[in-house]
Amino acid sequence: MPSTAVPVAAATAMTEVADRVYAYVQSPGGWCVSNAGVIAGPDGALVIDTLATERRARRFHESVERLHPGPGRMVVNTHHHGDHNFGNHVFGPAAAVLAHELAREEMAATGLALTQLWPQVEWGDVQVTLPTVTFRDRLTVHVADVRAELLHVGPAHTSNDVVVWLPDQRVLFAGDVVLSGATPFSLMGSVSGSLAAVGELSQLGAETVVCGHGPIAGPEVFDETAAYLMWIQELAAHGAAAGLTPLRVAREAGLGPFGHLLDPERTVGNLHRAYDELGGGQAGRPLDVLAVFSEMVEYNGGQLPTCLA
């Protein structure tokens, strides 16, 4: 399948969302086209996620350097998926990499598997650079006078989701727990856990939400995400009661009120997770991701989901 990649320069924007706090947004925000963040201070910078490909990571690194922060670098990985951390090494061996303790385990176990799903992508020299600092529940990092609270939520999108909350600036970097303009994805986490996490995040009082993918949003993104997840739970309950497969339920349900969201094939994966939870499966327990991804391809007319990385 030929590459449909778009020029990096035409798809990125560094936006200051608070004083010395920046969102690095990559459009359109679908598969592997993820966002990042920067808190810049006189002594250094806290970088939130490092993108999917070498080319994109190096372009992001250049954008960070143009902010003229001090020499120190800390990197936060919001979860273990490679489209958020394959560029860790670009920020140099002296950069401390912070993540949830399970993220380190999952990154080591998963390796570069993501690159095999879309072999047409020009991944470049991507590497698995494991976190050097891990935590279980929460960790506070100070960049000059900016206090960044790293909070573990979930299982939600994965077992190891971390959000970065700036209480004084009312800015939330939500990772993939909340997506803007794209279909949520809980196959490797939990539908019910995602709902709980979104409810928790909505209570923080964020005014600006930088999602893991998609445009910068406001607190309305929490309501839309919750509505979608509840729709998935309703579809799963009816489908399981009728003895239907998740793939058939997804096909018969169509897009419902969520046709404007990118990557609708994720509904199949979300339904598999919701079915498992209905059957008493533990939130976040491993499912057969490759088999479910094959059904997502089938739902998509036999075509790989579009990846513009």
Does residue 5 contact residue 121 with C-beta atoms inside 8 Å? yes
Indicate the SS3 state at residue 306.
coil
**pLDDT at residue 7, as a whole number:** 41
Per-residue tokens: 82: 């490679």
- The set of residues, in sequence order, having a beta carbon less than 8 Å from that of 45 and lying 6+ positions away, is 38, 39, 64, 67, 69, 70, 72, 73, 74, 143
Does residue 292 contact residue 267 with C-beta atoms inside 8 Å? no
Q: What angle do CA 172, 44, 124 make, to 5 degrees?
A: 80
Domains located in the chain, CATH noted? 8-299 (3.60.15.10)
**Which neighbouring-strand residues pair with 5?**
none
Dihedral sign for Cα atoms in the order 74, 225, 192, 206 = positive
**pLDDT at residue 5, as a whole number:** 40
Per-residue tokens: 63: 């954008």
**pLDDT at residue 10, as a whole number:** 44
Share of the chain above pLDDT 90, in %: 96
**pLDDT at residue 11, as a whole number:** 78
pLDDT at 263 over 70: yes
| Residue 130 CB neighbour total at 10 angstroms | 17
Each residue's pLDDT tens digit, 7-53? 444 479 999 999 999 999 999 999 999 999 999 999 999 999 999 99
Cα(25)–Cα(291) distance, integer angstroms: 31
**What integer best gives the mean pLDDT of the chain?**
95
